[in-house]
Structure 1
Amino acid sequence: MASTDPVTTLDSRYSSANATATEWVRGRRELAQAEVYLLTTVRPDGRPHVTPLIAVWLDGALYFCTGPDERKARNLAENPHCTVITAGGTALDDGLDLVVEGDAVQVTDEARLRRIAGTYESKYGNEWRFDVRDGAFLNEASGVALVYEVTPVTAFGFNRAGEYSQTRWRFFV
């Protein structure tokens, strides 16, 4: 698991003159509060695959789920490198966009899965209630879903409110 206190740097090349680095505590809060994320994985032929999904932030990592036959699960089986993005709004001059880079690792421990499932239900409501069975989520409507954890290795924050800034957070294992 990565350090909870990343090295934080401001990239002045892409920041306003008086900008300051965004604190990781804000980045974490925004990752936890976001409702929609974009996951980028790599197809077997090297082309990117991007798809929207829902996710939860828990214990220093993002968690998402997908069916075992979906493109993203098949991509991750071949190459675990991925990027998860969430936008802080659609206005050009407001919000904090976040980019998290890391490896997606399948979670099969049933105690952890129950905790993650509870976080999904708390965040998204009863429609996203999952049972845990055989190392995966189970939902009446959608069937079996594999659960993945992405612990940040590097993350970026693009602040568009007030002074524009680009912050990099580097985590060390």
Structure 2
Amino acid sequence: MTTIVPRTDVDVRYGEPGATARPWEEAEDALRRAQITWISTVRPDGRPHVTPLLTVWRDGALHFCTGAHERKARNLETNPAVVLTVSSPAGGGLDVVVEGVAERVADDDRLRGLAAAWEADHGPEWRFEVADGAFVDPYGGALVFRVAPVTVFGFARSPASQTRWRFGPA
């Protein structure tokens, strides 16, 4: 698989003098290690909806799962635009905000790989089976979505800086 290299810049208005752009690999690491990710979606009437969930970073994208009847899944039916936010531990690191479009993953082979990733990243209590294009566990089924980054912001605390990574055509 080809690694996508984003266009990177630092916004000097939001950082300490002389702060430089953080490397994309640092943002990827924060996404890979995230314990909790906050997802923001938009309800059909335009109101925001934000909730925490678990994600896995694989193949250049964040993946999340949700029940088909949950609010975020219903929101995605009418507007697939999402924002995913990861915060680093207090006192250091990089807070990361990913803007993108949620696309359903329904291929059972891909889902089996993602199910293994969920268990590897989050432990055996997050073990899923795969059936009929979804995750299945004792509590029911869950749809799986992939969010490839369009624009990502990284907020560093020391030194304070804001880096932007943009993907796709210039």
One fold, TM greater than 0.5?
yes
The residue number in structure 2 matching 1:20 is 20
- The corresponding residue for 2:72 is 72
User: Which structure 1 segments of 5+ residues have no match?
Assistant: none
Identity across the alignment (%): 52
| Separation in 2, partners of 1:72, 1:30 | 23
1:125 matched to 2:123? The reply is yes
Q: How many residues align?
A: 168
Tell me what 1:85 maps to.
85
Equivalent pair of 1:9/1:169 in contact (CA under 8 Å): yes
CA distance in 1, matches of 2:3, 2:129: 31
Q: In the alignment, which residue of structure 2 is the partner of 1:164? A: 160
1:145 and 2:142 are equivalent in the alignment: yes
Amino acid at match of 1:156: F
User: Which letter maps to 1:144?
Assistant: G
* Residue 99 (structure 1) aligns with: 97
Whole-angstrom CA distance in 2 between matches of 1:36 and 1:152: 18
Q: CA RMSD in A?
A: 1.2
Distance 1:80 1:38 in 2: 16
- Distance of 1:85 and 1:66 partners within structure 2: 17
Aligned counterparts of 2:90 and 2:140: Cα–Cα separation in 1: 33
How big is each residue's C-alpha offset from its partner over 1:111-149, in whole Å with a ceiling of 9 and x where there is no partner? 100000000000111100000000000011x21000000
Q: How far apart in 2 are the matches of 1:133 and 1:143?
A: 11
Provide the secondary structure at the position in 2 that maps to 1:100. strand
**TM-score normalised to structure 2 length:** 0.96
The structure 1 segments of at least 4 consecutive aligned residues displaced by more than 3 Å after TM superposition are none
- 2-structure distance, mates of 1:122, 1:95: 23
- Structure 2: runs of 5 or more not aligned: none
| SS of the residue 1:151 aligns to | strand
Decide whether the 8 Å contact of 1:7 with 1:169 is kept in 2. Answer: yes
Distance (Å, rounded) in 1 between the aligned partners of 2:18 and 2:133: 49
